[in-house]
Structure formats: C-alpha cells, structure tokens
Amino acid sequence: MEASLGYYINPIVSVALGVVFLGERLRRLQWVGVALAGLAVLVMIFFYGTVPWLGLGLAFSFGFYGLVKKSIGPVPALLSLTIETLLLTPLAALLLSYFAVSGQLTLVSEGASHFFLLAASGVVTAIPLLLFAGAASRVPLSLLGIVQYIGPTVQFFLALWVTQEQLSAGRWAGFVLVWLAAFFFVLDALRANPRLPSRGKKAEN
C-alpha cells in the first residue's frame, strides 16, 4: 500500500515539476484535479499515522526521472534505455558479485522455472520503461504525470482482489478523492479538444 501511495504522489510531483521547471501551464479544471489529488494524498498520509518515506522517495525519484527524460529532448526510447543500462551496468555487476560471494545469488541454483522467472522480470521492466521514455519526449510532463494514475489504480485492485488487503475508511476516502481528481482531468481533456466530437461525426458520415 505504501508503494501504491508513492505512485499516487508521483503524478502530483510530475505536474509540479512541469510547472516549476518547464513553464507548463495548467487550466482551471486541471488545478482542481491537482488540488483534489493533493488532498487525497494528505488524507492517506494522515491515516498512515507516519511519514511514508518509501513512498515519497519513489514519487520524487521517478518524478525527477521524468523531468530529465523531458529535458533531454526527443531521444529515441531504445537509445535512451540503452544508455541508462550501460551507466548502471557497473553497479549491477558489483551487486551481483556481492550476492554471489555471500551465497545469495539464486539465478542458477533454484531450477529452470526460477531462472526463467527472473529473466522475464527484466523484460517486464524494460517494456514499460521504453514506453515511458517514448512518451516523455512527446507529451507535456503534466499530462504524463496524470496518466501515471493508471499504475496505482491497478495496484489498488490487485490489493483488493488478489492480496485481499483490508482498506480502512480513510484509505477509501483517499482513493475516492483521487478518482474524482482523475475525472476532472478527463473532463478538461475533452473540453480542451473540441475536435474529438467532430471526428466522431465525420466517422459516422
């Protein structure tokens, strides 16, 4: 749940960074959505009873990651991810060496299914990063931040239906506020793109 909270804070961080560093402007309904999302996060933090450092660290680190992606311009997603991977390879090698020396490396010691599961986790990680890198250079950072509400919403339903986590009244209130914020952003997007209905009419004709 703390990871989910971090992903809910992250879009707000992205919106704030877009306004502060990139000069992006928000319309009235977008500001309403941001305010509701911020209130939702405050409600969640209040009912946690403590500062969620893990969630905040996730939100701000990924927020600045998106800002850097946006600032460097239209770099091809595959090239961008390749450069990031090369930069992190020495650190990854050191960690793997440490795990091997300390007997914690399980890549080849737990059977074929374990090996392929770990290998697949790399693919599952890389594909969203490629998509994110491609989107970060093409859309406003404020829009990119709002789209990221999809992630924690999926986590919410996984927590509710798969892991059977119990949600208190306070957490329910926070989620309802977030969904209301998302509604205002969708409404603003529809109002800001009046050509969408006309396209539908042309398609009908």
- As a whole number of angstroms, the distance between CA 148 and CA 40 comes to 15
- So what's the pLDDT on residue 142? 65
CB 70 within 8 A of CB 20: no
- So what's the pLDDT on residue 202? 46
CB 19 within 8 A of CB 143: no
CB 59 within 8 A of CB 7: yes
How far CA 62 is from CA of 9, 57, 69, 114, in Å, comes to 10, 8, 10, 29
Task: Give 197's pLDDT tier (boundaries 50, 70, 90).
Answer: very low
Task: Give 199's pLDDT tier (boundaries 50, 70, 90).
Answer: very low
Domain ranges (residues) in the chain: 1-74+140-205, 75-136
Q: Give the tens place of pLDDT for each residue, 127-165.
A: 887 887 777 777 776 677 667 778 888 888 888 889 888
pLDDT above 80: residue 125: yes
The counts of H helices and E strands in the chain are 9, 0
Q: Output 66-70 pairs: Cβ under 8 A, ≥24 positions apart.
A: 66/14, 66/17, 66/132, 66/136, 66/141, 66/144, 66/145, 67/14, 67/17, 67/18, 67/21, 67/22, 67/141, 69/132, 69/133, 69/136, 69/137, 70/18, 70/22, 70/136, 70/137, 70/141, 70/144
- The contacts of residue 86 (CB under 8 Å, 6+ apart) are none
State whether the Cα torsion 7-81-100-121 is positive or negative.
positive
Q: Give the tens place of pLDDT for each residue, 2-19.
A: 778 788 778 778 878 888
- As a whole number of angstroms, the distance between CA 86 and CA 132 comes to 18
CB 5 within 8 A of CB 44: yes
Q: With CA atoms as reference, report the closest residue to 30 among 20, 21, 38.
A: 38
Q: Give the tens place of pLDDT for each residue, 64-108.
A: 988 887 787 777 778 888 888 899 999 999 998 998 899 888 888
- So what's the pLDDT on residue 70? 79
